[in-house]
Amino acid sequence: MEKRKIVKPKKKKPLLSIVVVSYQNAAILELCLNSIIEEVNSLKKIIKAESEVLVVDSGAIEKTRDVVKQFILDQKPVKYFSFKKNTGFSKAVNKGIKESAGDFLLILNADIILTKNSLGKMINYLKENSRVGILGPKLLNFDGSPQISAFHFYTPSIILYRRTILGKTAWGKRKLQNFVIDFSAKKAPVSFDGWLMGSALMLRRDNLEKIGSMDERYFMYFEDVDWCRRFREAGFEIVYFPLSALFHYHGKQSATRHFWDAFLNPMTLVHIQSAFKYFWKFRK
C-alpha cells in the first residue's frame, strides 16, 4: 500500500512584526509583552491578521530569559533572540528586523505598554499612506500626561547647550525650547521635518528596504535621528500619530545635573560620541 506524504499546512505570513528590544529589566519586559499579546489577539479578531513578536534580549540575564520562556511555553507568538553582551540599540533592532517577516514593523523599547486598538490604527494609516517612512505614536507617562517625542534635527549648538552651562542662559534655554516640538494638543496625524524618539516606531517593509536598517555605528542615541533623516532626505514623510497613544516609562540615563556630569556620566559620553558620528556623517 502506497504511503501518503503528510503535508503540513503552511504558516500564514504575518502582517505585523513587533520587534521588542530588552535590556535587563524582567518586570518591565513582562508588562510590555502582556500588553502586546492582548493587542495582537484583538488585531487578529478585527482584521484577521497574523502577527509575530520578536524579543531581542541585549545583555541577557536569567530573569529576562525566564519571562520570554514562559510566554513561549504558553504558546504565545513570541520568538527569542539573545546576546550575552549589550550590543547597543541599533544592532538589537536590526537583528529583529532581519529575523522578521511582516509587511509592517513596529519597533519597541521594552518600556512601552500598548493601549487598546492602538495597532490597527497605525497599520491602517500606513496602508493608506505609502509615502510615510516612519510613524510614531503619541507617548504618555503613566499618569496619562503626554511626553515630548518629536524634535527638530540636531545642530552642534544644541549639543553644546544641552551639555554645558550655556543651556542655563536665557539664550540657551530659548534654543533648547525651540529644539523640541510639542504635538501634545494635536488630534490628527502630523507630517513634519524632524525626528521621532525611537522608543516606538512603525514602518512599512517596502519603504524600509529602500532606505535600509539602523546604522550600527551608533551604540546608543542618534540611531533614531539618523534613521528619520535618511527617510526624510529620500522624500518620505515622518509622521507623528496621536490617534494611537502608548505608555512609556522614560528613564533619562544620560541626563546631567551639573557641568562635570558630562565627563563622569558614561551614558552622557556615549551620547556625545554618537553626536560626533552623526555630525560627521551628515557634514555635507
DSSP per position, 184-234: TT--S-EEESSEE-TTEEEEEHHHHHHH-S--TT-SSSSHHHHHHHHHHHT
Instruction: Return the pLDDT at 25.
Output: 93
Amino acid 17 reads S
> CA-CA distance, 282 to 201, in Å (whole number)?
22
Neighbouring residues of 133: CB distance < 8 A, sequence distance ≥ 6? 203, 207, 211, 228, 231, 232, 234, 236, 237, 238
The answer to whether 154 and 147 have CB atoms below 8 angstroms apart is: no
Instruction: Return the pLDDT at 5.
Output: 52
Check: CATH 3.90.550.10 for 16-154+183-250? yes
pLDDT at 274 over 90: yes
> CA-CA distance, 276 to 284, in Å (whole number)?
14
H or E, element range at 81: strand 78-83
The CA-atom distances, in angstroms, between 87 and each of 58, 171, 201, 219 are 6, 38, 20, 7
C-alpha torsion sign, points 281, 156, 264, 198: negative
> CA-CA distance, 55 to 21, in Å (whole number)?
6
pTM (two decimals): 0.89
pLDDT digit string (tens) for 126-172? Answer: 999 999 999 999 999 999 999 999 999 999 989 888 877 877 888 78
Instruction: Return the pLDDT at 11.
Output: 67
pLDDT digit string (tens) for 73-131? Answer: 999 999 999 999 999 999 999 999 999 999 999 999 999 999 999 999 999 999 999 99
Whole-number CA gyration radius for the chain: 20
